[in-house]
Amino acid sequence: MTAKKNHTSASSLLFVALLLLVSLPRPLCAGEPLVGGQYLSAAGQDIQLLVTVSSPAPSTLIVIQNLPPGTVIDAASPAFNQYDAGKGEVKWLLTHVNSGRYTVSLRLQRPVVSGGISGDIRYKDPGSGRMINLRVRP
C-alpha cells in the first residue's frame, strides 16, 4: 500500500517537473501573425481599416485598399502614396512602424456597398525576411 502511494507521489512529481519544463517562457513562434487587420467601417462613404501590429514589429507596412474601379476619393488620412483609379487601388506606405494600432481612413464621393471592398497588408516578416500578404475582408 505504502509502495503504491510512493509510486503515485513520485509520478505526480515527475509530471509537475515535465509541465514546468514545457511551460518555460519562449519567444513568439515563427508563423504566428505579427500584423492583423479589421474594418471599422466597410460601407457607405467612410471606409476605416484598423491595422494592429505586435512585437517584433516589421519596420514598414504597405496597406492597400481595393475600391470599386473609378471610385472618386474626397479625402484620405493619412495621405495615400498611390492611387490607381482605373483599378480602384489605394496604397499607403507606413514607415518607422512600432507595435500598436494604426487606422487608415478614406472619405469617398459616393457610398460603396458592404462586400464591395477589400484590403491587403504587406510586410516583411522580421524573422524569415519573407514577404507576407494579409488579405482583409469586411
Partner 1 sequence: MDSTKPLAGGIPMVSIDGAMIRRIREEKGLTQLYVATVVGVTTDTISRWENRRYPNIKKENALKLAEALEIQLSDILDHTPPAPTAEPSLSSANKSPEQENTPPPPDDLKGSLASESIAVQSDRFRSLIAKQPVFILLGGFLLLALAGLAITWWYSENDGENQVAAFRTLPVHATPGIAFPVVIEVTNSSSKSFSLILKESLPPDCIPAQGKPQFVFQESDPPVLKWIGKITGDHAVYSYLAKLKPETKMETIHQFTGGVTVRSDDNPSIPVAGNDSLQVSPFHWADNNGDGRIDDEELLSVYETYGGIEGLLFGKKLIEEIWSAKGYRWNPETRSYEILQ
Q: Which residues bind partner 1 (CB under 8 A)?
A: 3, 6-7, 10-11, 13-14, 17, 58-60, 62, 81-82, 91, 93, 95-96, 122-124, 126, 129, 131
Q: 64 and 11 in contact (C-beta within 8 Å)?
A: no
The two beta strands, 118-124 and 44-53, are unpaired
Cell numbers for 92: 499607403
Please name every residue paired with 121 in a beta bridge, in sequence order, or none if there are none. Answer: 63, 134
Least Å distance, CB 94 to partner 1, is: 10
Separation of alpha carbons 82 and 137, rounded Å: 21
Nearer to partner 1, 78 or 111 (CB): 78
Separation of alpha carbons 62 and 97, rounded Å: 11
Nearer to partner 1, 14 or 40 (CB): 14
Least Å distance, CB 7 to partner 1, is: 7
Nearer to partner 1, 63 or 112 (CB): 63
